[in-house]
Amino acid sequence: MNDATEPSLPSDTPPVASLYDGSLYFNRELSQLDFNFRVLAQAQDERVPLLERLKYLCISCTNLDEFFEIRAGSLRHAQDLGLLPGSDGLAPATVLSRIHDRAADLVSAQYECWNGVLRPALAEAGVRVLSRDSWNTRQKRWLLSYFRDEIMPVLSPLGLDPAHPFPKILNKSLNIVVVLEGRDAFGRAGNLAVVRAPRSLPRIIQLPESVSGGPNDFVFLSSVLSTFVDELFPGMEVKGAYQFRVTRNSELLVDEEEVDNIALALRDELVGRGYLRAVRLEIAEQCPDDIVRTLLENFDLNENAVYRINGPVNLNRVTQVYDLVARPELKFPPFHSRQLSGSEAMFELIGRGDVLLHHPFDAFTPVLELLRQAAEDPHVLAIKQTLYRSGKDSPIVEQLIQAARNGKDVTAVVELRARFDEEANLGFADRLQEAGVQVVYGVVGYKTHAKMLLIVRREDGRLRRYVHLGTGNYHSGTARLYTDLGLFTAHPEIGNDVHLVFQQLSGLAPAIKLKRLLQSPFTLHDGVLKRIERETQHARNGRPARIVAKMNALNEPQVVRALYRASQAGVKIDLIVRGACTLRPGVAGVSENIRVRSIIGRFLEHHRVYWFGNDGEPDLLCSSADWLERNLLRRVETCFPVLDPEIAARVHAETITNYLEDNLNAWELQADGSYARLEPDPGHPPHSAQSALLASICG
């Protein structure tokens, strides 16, 4: 499946005059949008278990929602402000126009997958999501009763007239616009009405087996509302009922330098988040044009913001079927993460040498166990931790609270602006403060995205620092779903570096000099550029030169240009980039030595690993940061070396060699912007990087 994001640039194109030429850069938003075609391809792949394919479809829909809430919303803001184009040279208005066309292709492919592939396949497997025209008399009678008893009492239909202007519509909520004829009890003429579905109502309704005849039969709430909406307007005739959904900008814009208390400011912003500026309208395919125009006018949208839908506007809600259906043969086989031997004595274990965890193949529980032991250990004096995404009921937070209650000095650097987790983070920040934890909200203007845990323990009359550094969040739930690396170490220099970073975050400290860690926004960007330049010089001097980097996204222009110069010098470069990549590989004279691949599998690829050959003395780093402008220049991030040779060899084998050998879940970025799915070459066995890790680590 090839999905072009930009006009074709053949690999035999003559070298461009400048590495600043816009033709050398893909647009970040369009590249991110195309990632969802690769996710959707998993839903279309018959090798994937059926209910997992359904889940991939829903993930692609949810990702598209977030894309409009954040990326498209930010672009409209940039357009309003008249901001200049980025490296690709495309103005925001041009990008928005291309987004509409590309997103329309994606939406069409999603509903084709649902209507033509997955829904029939699920029905054949005994999991039926019944359409309105397939309900039999018994099913319809039960659903009418359900509507009257469970749905209608919580609905508040609103007729539109001078006394009832168009209501506020909550972001991504399910709504029905109804066309009416006749007069109501007060003699008012019917025209249009809006029925809003409260979020308390289930979007997927399971029919009793005694009614439907099958154990796994479901209907969409939207179908029930559309069918029985006339019950809400007695004495009037319903001429049409059309579901719609509006997506709004969800990026909270708090001017931190203009507020006295960021927590209070965010609380105020969160109240209105669901009603920010509209960016997209999804509406039933058969809705008349005049009604669509009315909705567009109400939401202050133009024609390129509307998407006509052949199915439920909230298709991603069908993911509930995955959880409701107990059919293990239709899902990925379960796996058991490897437990860390010796974790009952974490300080002793880490004191003997560095320990690596590779999630989700290695269990996340040692991180929780280290905190639990630290909270109870009388020799532990202080605990410091960054929290970006931790979840609402986080065991991490509970352990920090317990540690504070046990008299430890506990500091938590809580990033309140973690997108879509602001409310959860505000909640547990309050709980931490109530328990006596010193809560720090990071640095004005810079999100704290670093993943660090520091424990100070008194041993034999001296203080020793124990550290955990990771590429992912301190979230035990996502640790089962994301691939990430975590390193436990008691290395004195790393411990001191982490201590200095915490001091800087909490104490308004001056610039610091770190011995082992690289840190954004100070040394990480420059450190990456210097390492790329070092490989470039090796190549120019005729020595071996190699770069392999794995990350989630790449768009920082200086890094891209440095990689182009390295390629021109002869450095062989492999980039494993899950999502957006603005670098254009395969351009003659510029990037023919660069390959870019994306891995889409059972788990979300999330670890960031940078490997530089360094003329036979490899330099291997792990980081919380992608090579994005925001991560390298506008966030607090950490990047840490893997110093133990055996652990470094393991990281290289598991995250680099293993992923470069993947020929089942890998997509290669072409010079024209399309992605080609790789297939095993003749004579080469099929290889899935994630499956290999499941087999070798989880057994």
Question: Where are the extended beta strands (E) located within 66-191?
Answer: 128-129, 158-159, 175-181
419 is in an annotated binding site: yes
578 is in an annotated binding site: yes
- In the residue annotation, 538 being an active-site residue is answered as no
473 is in an annotated binding site: no
How many Å apart are CA 493 and CA 514, to the nearest integer? 9
684 burial level (CB within 10 Å; 0-12, 13-18, 19+) = exposed
How many Å apart are CA 211 and CA 357, to the nearest integer? 50
Residues with Cβ < 8 Å from 182, sequence gap 6 or more?
A: 189, 190, 235, 236, 237
- Whether 390 and 426 have beta carbons less than 8 Å apart is answered as no
507 φ/ψ angles, rounded to the nearest 5 degrees? -120, 15
203 is in an annotated binding site: no
Question: Where are the extended beta strands (E) located within 169-291?
Answer: 175-181, 192-196, 204-206, 217-220, 237-248, 278-284
- Whether 337 and 138 have beta carbons less than 8 Å apart is answered as no
How many Å apart are CA 197 and CA 220, to the nearest integer? 12
Among candidates 380, 564, 378, 371, which has minimal Cα distance to 463? Answer: 380
- Whether 655 and 609 have beta carbons less than 8 Å apart is answered as yes
How many Å apart are CA 438 and CA 410, to the nearest integer? 6
Among candidates 63, 153, 177, 61, which has minimal Cα distance to 110? Answer: 61
304 is in an annotated binding site: no
In the set 358, 449, 468, 525, the catalytic residue is 449
667 φ/ψ angles, rounded to the nearest 5 degrees? -125, 135
**Vertex 395 angle, CA 393 and 396, to 5°:** 115
Bridge-based pairing state of the strands 217-220 and 518-520 = unpaired
425 is in an annotated binding site: no
- The DSSP bridge partners found for residue 458 are 463
| Residue list for the binding site for Mg(2+) | 389, 419
| Residue list for the binding site for ATP | 63, 482, 578, 606
The residues that are catalytic are 449
| Residue list for the binding site | 63, 389, 419, 482, 578, 606
